[in-house]
Structure 1
Amino acid sequence: MISNKQLFLLNNAQTSTSPNLLEIDYAEGIYLYDKQKKPYIDLVSGFAVSNIGHRHPKVIDAIKAQLDKYMHLTVYGEYVQSPMILFAQKLLSVLPETLNNVYFVNSGAEATEGALKLAKRYTGRSGIISCFNSYHGSTHGALSVMGNEHYKQAYRPLLPDVQFIRFNEEAELSMITEETACVIMETVQGEAGIRVPSENYMTKLRNRCTEVGALLILDEIQAAFGRTGKLFAFENFGIVPDILLLAKALGGGMPIGAFIANKEVMGVLKENPILGHITTFGGHPVSCSAGLASLEVILEEELVKDVNKKGELFRTLLVHPLIKEVRGKGLMLSIQLDSFEQVEKVSTLCRERGVVIDWFLHCETAMRIAPPLIIKEEEIHTVCKTIINVLNLL
């Protein structure tokens, strides 16, 4: 009889030649369970999605309640749907007052696409500045602002008028000019191996964009909802973007993204031409219900409060001659090793021992630490002991 793994490889499109082929039967909290009921501690959170853990009961209840009412009704922006209204209202209540209009989409990549279009439409400019080693999605527009030629050279030509600067290099901010429609930047670079900018750099970035009339787009698709020790990562730096990108943890495990801006800016999508951005499933009522429940869990259970303390515990415990550095902020961390071979071996051996860990798109010599925010201190001790024991085998 053909196995599920064989069917997966036969019938489902693959993104690489070496998927890890872990077959999950169910998930709960910070744990994944395979078909043999073996538990795995998830240190990746579905790539920064499961901030409140897998299948939180309040999210499950919200999904079930919405299923009893309706699912998809029509394209985004036509019907008045309470899940979207309530979620937007709650989301805006925890954001600065200048970020007061939400466009819900399907994913982080679509949030990037919508934001780039919005910036060009509002400013009447075409210039876009991104950062080397950035990642904003893999659709054509998002790929155009990815800062790694290796992953996009096969798909050129891409968007014109895109320039790249080095992240956290103040001298290169002069490349932002009156011809720049927007600067798109991860508040904390994710796939570059978790790179945290200085507060001074972020202040100068914000001031430069304001000075020349360019919109500042901050991508917090990975970094938002408590992962860096603040509800939103930009709060660590005392600045506010013109457009904020959200996805991943936004939906509490359900697919949804958003770009958020000032109502005046967002208003240009309504006319000349109308339908400046169109999406069929954006703001899906089930995803919005799940997202609202997830945000309420983060706030009511005060999950952000202990994030920095937990991050420091990881730093304290992850000491080993092979570990060159532990980078990051809060529970958005990376462990720097010497080679991809080491990273691959450690990831494999950890997975065999019940700890799921991974690496980065633009930094294959580092391992990703991004557990659900609900991870307990004793569980941090457990996973760090496993990682250290595995490093001892190399």
Structure 2
Amino acid sequence: MSNLRQLFLQHVAQTSETPLMLEITSAEGMYLYDPEGKAYLDLIAGIGVSSLGHRHPAVVQAAKDQLDKYLHTIVYGEFVLAPQIQLAQLMAEHLPEPLDSVYFVNSGTEATEGAMKLAKRYTGRPKIVAARYAYHGSSQGAASLMWPTDFTQAYHPLLPGIEHIEFNEEEDLDKIDRHTAAVIVETVQAEWGIRRPTDTYLLRLKERCEDVGALLILDEIQAGYGRTGTLWAFQQYGIVPDILLLAKGMGGGMPIGAFVASRELMQVLSHNPILGHITTFGGHPVSCAAALATLQTLLSTDLIDQVKAKEQLFRELLDHPKIVDKRSAGLWMAVELPDFDFVQGVIRHCLANGLVTDWFLFNSHSLRIAPPLIINENQVKEACRIIIDGIERQK
């Protein structure tokens, strides 16, 4: 074991007893590289983050340019900073009305926390409804939304006033009532293994929220920024949320998140009391510059237009009798296999053969595929060849 790996285990706090322990010395485009120069094709984009691949030239240049101007100046929301303003303006231009006010944070978890506070403040109501098998973050507020409680029970009690519904079950919508401040769902359920809404579910959900005066929060922390084949996943379902959550692919590899609402909603955080929501590093100028370059690149290229064809190629090539099911939403796929041990065997085979993949928090028997949007046809074929070989080798 290298000295660096030993120090990693000794001094870097661990999140599991079995970390992958892949040592990375550089990254470029679709590939990560270890100390021996071995290339690893990244099939999960750092869990949905590196949507333009690693070190995209436009993102790197934007970050470098901003480094030459200024870094942190003061807590978010006090100074007029061009990277924040330019990014917020471009986002608003490509979001439907009334989503025109952006609050920048550092991560998806923080976006969830801000949205929960905004919903309670605006409505004056105590209850929040969330979907089972959804993941919105790991801080205490966001973790309170999680069901089942396998990952949270050790930290109870968490927030009160949380009620759960079954995603895609319209009969459950009666649980949303006039005590409900907001309903928060993922536009596409991620950690349950890529579960898309039915044709009518989000429409009925939005209608129920409007009927009782609750806000609809859509979590596109993983689904946004072209992952599903449109810039925002909700564009495919004929609705507009009251609050939109974004992060992961937003920054092109830099840490940033946001919750977006109308100015009418957002302004309630500015009074009674003032400083209703604050963050020191949210909207960091370098992260905003990188995020601006990321969005500009997605808007000026045909990468999003290519998503559906690449999705179809994955679906065609990942064909094997041991594959139980394939669920996808653009360049985002769950390949269901017989059981957890089978999935882990395939993941180990892939890693040994230069391919990085993973599983899902609430669906441990499915293989996660969510590559950078820049993946090309030959790389799709190579990834699928390695996966099929890994499946073939499992007993």
TM bracket, shorter-chain basis: over 0.9
Query: Deviation at 1:199?
Result: 2.1
Residue aligning to 2:82: 82
CA–CA distance in structure 1, aligned partners of residues 207 and 163 of structure 2: 19
Matched-pair contact (CA < 8 Å) for 1:125–1:179: yes
1:56-205 aligned within 5 A: 56-205=56-205
Residue aligning to 2:283: 283
Query: Deviation at 1:133?
Result: 0.6
1:234 aligns with 2:234: yes
Matched-pair contact (CA < 8 Å) for 1:189–1:196: yes
Q: Give the residue type in structure 1 aligned to 2:207.
A: N
Deviations 1:215-236 (A, max 9, x none): 0000000000000011011011
CA-based RMSD of the aligned residues comes to 0.8
Look up the SS of the partner of 2:279 in the other structure: coil
User: Could you tell me the TM-score, scaled by structure 2's length?
Assistant: 0.99
Residue aligning to 1:252: 252
1:374-389 aligned within 5 A: 374-389=374-389
Residue aligning to 1:55: 55
Worse-superposed segment, 211-220 or 147-156: 147-156
Q: Give the residue type in structure 2 aligned to 1:329.
A: A
Q: Give the residue type in structure 1 aligned to 2:337.
A: L
Q: Give the residue type in structure 2 aligned to 1:102.
A: V
CA–CA distance in structure 2, aligned partners of residues 161 and 64 of structure 1: 45
Matched-pair contact (CA < 8 Å) for 1:170–1:201: yes
Q: Give the residue type in structure 2 aligned to 1:226.
A: G
Residue aligning to 2:209: 209
Query: Deviation at 1:290?
Result: 0.2
CA–CA distance in structure 1, aligned partners of residues 373 and 167 of structure 2: 27
Residue aligning to 1:41: 41
Q: Give the residue type in structure 2 aligned to 1:251.
A: G
CA–CA distance in structure 2, aligned partners of residues 200 and 5 of structure 1: 50
Matched-pair contact (CA < 8 Å) for 1:129–1:176: yes
CA–CA distance in structure 1, aligned partners of residues 199 and 81 of structure 2: 40
Matched-pair contact (CA < 8 Å) for 1:250–1:256: yes
Look up the SS of the partner of 2:244 in the other structure: strand
CA–CA distance in structure 2, aligned partners of residues 29 and 235 of structure 1: 28
CA–CA distance in structure 1, aligned partners of residues 148 and 70 of structure 2: 42
Residue aligning to 2:302: 302
Matched-pair contact (CA < 8 Å) for 1:217–1:242: yes
1:344 aligns with 2:349: no
User: Could you tell me the TM-score, scaled by structure 1's length?
Assistant: 0.99
CA–CA distance in structure 1, aligned partners of residues 33 and 2 of structure 2: 22
CA–CA distance in structure 2, aligned partners of residues 236 and 186 of structure 1: 14
CA–CA distance in structure 2, aligned partners of residues 343 and 137 of structure 1: 24
Flag structure 1 segments of 5+ consecutive residues without an equivalent: none
Look up the SS of the partner of 2:102 in the other structure: strand
| Number of residue pairs matched by the alignment | 394
Matched-pair contact (CA < 8 Å) for 1:134–1:148: no
Q: Give the residue type in structure 2 aligned to 1:169.
A: E
Residue aligning to 1:390: 390
CA–CA distance in structure 1, aligned partners of residues 316 and 236 of structure 2: 22
Query: Deviation at 1:148?
Result: 2.1
Look up the SS of the partner of 2:25 in the other structure: strand
Look up the SS of the partner of 1:40 in the other structure: strand
Residue aligning to 1:330: 330
Matched-pair contact (CA < 8 Å) for 1:107–1:255: yes
**Percent of aligned positions with the same letter in both sequences?**
56
Flag structure 2 segments of 5+ consecutive residues without an equivalent: none
Query: Deviation at 1:2?
Result: 6.2
Q: Give the residue type in structure 1 aligned to 2:136.
A: H
CA–CA distance in structure 2, aligned partners of residues 154 and 389 of structure 1: 39
Deviations 1:183-217 (A, max 9, x none): 00010011111111112011101111111110000
CA–CA distance in structure 1, aligned partners of residues 337 and 377 of structure 2: 24
CA–CA distance in structure 1, aligned partners of residues 12 and 381 of structure 2: 37
Q: Give the residue type in structure 1 aligned to 2:201.
A: Y
